[in-house]
Structure 1
Amino acid sequence: MMLNLFSIFDPSTYMFSLNWFSTFIGMFLIPQIYWLFYCRFVYLFNNLFFILLNEFKLILNFKFNLNNLIYMLVFFMFFVFNNFMGLFPYIFTSSSHLVFSLWISLSIWMSYMIFGWLNNSMYMFIHLVPLGTPFMLMFFMILVELLSNIIRPLTLSIRLVANMVAGHLLLTLLSNFISKFLMIYLFVFIIQFMLLFLEMLVSLIQSYVFVILLILYMKETN
């Protein structure tokens, strides 16, 4: 039972470990004609991009940071596609693995730290001591802020993985429950459909939270 339950998160379920290619499947499912002609699909994406652009501009006030908005928008769509692809049957969910999320968050965090300490060292030192901290607590606060800064990539990745795994496991458990109790099939099916809709919202929200936190970390470096 447990092996079957967690097999959806196993990257080597089949003879060849091709499950990681599901990371890029979402981009190929979009018909190429949508990139050439204006349609409802492109209209939906444009509205979504403009909403996100306005949200990011409220956080980033400097011209240097505004040049990175396209980079963050691409990251948002990348995570949305990966989270949504895991909701389809028999498709491997790459965003539910620490190998995937930790590698991305750690690499971006390292680039932020290298850039911040090399170009804005004084500004990075200021962040180690919050404003209004008493002198007796300054040394302790430096250790606390350093620790909180070091664990940022881990908390980013664990938040994404935990939310993806929890929703998928709950849907899998309910699907097994339906097959055993046919008398309440309709009731459980409605609950599972509602959970599927909730999982779609979670996939969108977790992508938004991941990118927003990356933007906030980037803002602290300059």
Structure 2
Amino acid sequence: MRRRAWLHVAVLAALVAAATPFTAGAAASAAGRSSTSASPTLMAPVTRTFTFNGTPQSYTVPAGAVVTITADGAGGATINCTYTGKGGTGGRVVTTLPATSAPTTYTLTVGGSGGKGCTPSHSGGAGGYNGGGRGGPVLVDGTGFDGGGGGGASSVAANGQLLVVAAGGGGSGGVVLGGPPTGNGGDGGPDGTAGTAGGARPNAGVGGGGGGGGSTS
């Protein structure tokens, strides 16, 4: 089952200090009364969904936030032009990050789907945004269709460190006109492993394999 690439961020809980200012007054000291700041309050859960827009996006959470992220990598291109081959499904990663010790800004990048290889352009379908591999080209003019591009990874980083990555799926393999069916692209791995490229056929006019999906490398 193919999924659309996305990033879902859920802030499960965050202790937020009350905004009431405190000033130690002379009268309070003279009366021997103790002076304490307001107790932190528990912030209500917040969710935010990010979809593909072709550029990194950002989201800031307060100190004490416990964040759960669901990330789906983008799918590889499916070939559906006389011959049909399926692109791989992007991987899914669900993780809960440790509570933040300070306000933290996350950089979220949603992967783009691989480009179709229906035209024998000798360059293959384009790789999806954020690391998708380009599909392989048809080797002989007018004999078939290029391999599809792999899907891009969806990732989350903070303070220059990559925290979450969901790999993209591999693109469908190319095909020769009158030849055997094209190979399907591999699914992205649940641990950030890229989808495998679509199968290529062993003859002189073979369509190239689909591009691998984006990963951590």
- TM-score relative to the length of structure 2: 0.20
Which of 1 and 2 has greater Rg?
A: 2
Structure number with the higher strand fraction is 2
Greater fraction helix: 1
Q: Calculate the TM-score normalised by the size of structure 1.
A: 0.20
